[in-house]
Structure 1
């Protein structure tokens, strides 16, 4: 399925941009991904997805029947994907072993994060998959405009702001690889429509210019929370709604003290809800209770005015579901204030 790209062959390969106007993929196909050229001789038929966003994207493209394994989950599937996704083997709730992945005999591994597949990847690096002839595709949003060191377990920092075009490009590239380009085109058009509608709803609510903080989780409730920096997906969500993210950091999810947050005093706090329970602050109810009871946080403007908004954690990571956050927050912002 996967082979190295030679200079002579490169001139004759059809790129994804050339395929964008076609209904069917012509192979061999080359895709430039995370600094490497992947060449596909045919449409992959056995897929493993590592990362909930990657799983959901493949389901949206209508190739759920080809999924032979998944890993790295934050919560359940959206309701409209639950039926199609219920029979997909879950290799692990978090990161599966390399052996578990290759045991499914995949011809494509689609990963959400370089943390799992990439230099120093928890599952494997690129050469390890390539030696077995397995194509490893990583979401462009996690390897373009972003730096993650091989010896770090952080979410990394960005050198360029996240943009939804990285996600729509991922949808188009995977649609080309899998020979389902009409599904990719339809998906991108629907995302564009939804984003525009939510932006208009937020504009009508008159929240332009107001400030917002996004709290994902924390290793300890009383400790420094992991909040969204100003170049990641949450900051893009804020801009789409006309809001201003208060944390000025290139890191995706920096740890910022509550004292610093109090000095920034955001108008709104968005809190992530998830099924994961690695840390106490993964529990959204505990997060909300802390905000309302802690002597410092209960005096924040957003807490006093009950401007606490809840969204599902996967919608704050670069993925199709970023649009879900935009819609949810636009609807909440448009509600009459008590």
Structure 2
């Protein structure tokens, strides 16, 4: 559902970035600052799914991101100069083109989750979590409370499309929540014009795919399993119907074999995958930082499926129906979600999409 543009002195962003908590309704599209240019529409208020508000009277100048996905979005928006640190940094070569060089200049506050004291003492005025309730284990202490964030002068928000996914009331079948996150980030960081451009580019790609495969009947859609190789092979991690990947798969004209699972992720058994017997399997490895390293990881994932007694008889394995698409492009909010939709559709529906 698309929400109205609020005509008031405050630009209210009810979708998108989640402030201090999460709830349902992850599929709603955010409003943006009023269309009078990137400096208009102050203050900007972002709200979570339950209605809790965080207000920005000025553009944040010192932003810390929890991981590479939010960092990438800020770089694409042109707000990368405001990022003073990140956790889960992107490996060298992970991001495309010029974004990679700029990402490598951002200070790494934690190779994984940023330690609590380092985050609170970072000097940030905004911390953006990609996921809700990150556990700062491993001897790094507990996650800061909202009171501790306030005491440190840090506003704490999340990417709603991932943080609230598990609590969405309905299956996620489009990218409106991702688009909402981008528009909200644009409103907060004063880059509304660029945010609208990014969303328009995504819509153009997805709309083109819809025109070619959107009318494929449910029963004729190839079944599809995203194999998260890096999540472990003992028990596969399935993407459920509230996860962004479900939208990517659906928009591409396929059927997520675990679309009957309410939530974002769920550990399943290989017997469950065997029962589904997917037509296609995505080798969803996480970026290793270079094309050669990624290819090696894709090879490893494919070899494991081909050699494992429990999986080598799967239809997709026997027919060599593998897609080499990184996990991040499919499961975490970003501009490249639209690229994944396009790539999957061209692979699964070559006759419709004109792929040779």
Query: Which range moved further: 197-206 or 52-61?
Result: 197-206
Equivalent position of 2:348 in the other structure: 333
Residues 107-145 of structure 1: CA distance to partner in whole angstroms, max 9, x if unpaired? 111111113399xx9532333212222111101113445
Instruction: Find the counterpart in structure 1 of residue 159 from structure 2.
Output: 139
Q: How many residues align?
A: 311
- Whether 1:285 aligns to 2:299 is yes
Normalised by the size of structure 1, how large is the TM-score? Answer: 0.82
Per the alignment, residue 202 of structure 2 pairs with 191
Q: Output one character per residue of 1:199-248: Cα deviation in whole Å (capped at 9) or x when no partner.
A: 44656999951111111136653x22112112311211121011111112
2:310 match: 296
Give me the whole-angstrom Cα distance separating, in 2, the residues matched to 1:236 and 1:55.
Answer: 22
Q: After superposition, where does 1:82-161 map in structure 2 within 5 Å?
A: 82-116=100-134, 123-144=143-164, 146-147=166-167, 158-161=168-171
Does residue 48 of the first structure (1) align with residue 81 of the second (2)? no
- 5+ residue gaps, structure 1, are 1-10, 148-157, 277-281
CA distance in 2, matches of 1:322, 1:212: 16
Shift of the 273–82 alpha-carbon distance from structure 1 to 2, 3 Å rule, reads same
Q: Alignment partner for residue 171 of structure 1, among 182, 191, 198?
A: 182
Residue matched to 2:321: 307
The alignment partner of 2:267 has SS state of coil
Distance 2:274 2:320 in 1: 16
Label 1:94 to 1:322 Cα distance change in 2 as closer, same or farther (>3 A).
same
Which of 68, 71, 80 is the aligned partner of 1:64? 80
Q: 1:160 to 1:131 in 2, by over 3 A?
A: farther
1:195 Cα deviation from its structure 2 partner: 1.4
Distance 1:219 1:238 in 2: 19
**Worse overlay, 15-24 or 89-98:** 15-24
TM-score between the two structures when normalised by the length of structure 2: 0.78
After superposition, the Cα gap between the structure-2 partners of 1:287 and 1:212, relative to the gap in structure 1 and judged at 3 Å, is: same
Q: Which of 225, 229, 233 is residue 217 of structure 1 equivalent to?
A: 229
CA contact (8 A) 1:117 1:125 kept: no
The Cα of 1:106 is off from its aligned counterpart by 0.8
Q: Secondary structure at the match of 2:283?
A: strand
Structure 2 residue 327 is the aligned partner of structure 1 residue 317: no
Partner of 1:227, secondary structure, is strand
Instruction: Compute the RMSD of aligned alpha carbons.
Output: 3.0
> Alignment partner of 1:68: what SS?
strand
More displaced, 239-248 or 205-214? Answer: 205-214
Whole-Å separation in 1 of the counterparts to 2:210 and 2:142: 38
* Shift of residue 50, structure 1, vs aligned partner: 0.7
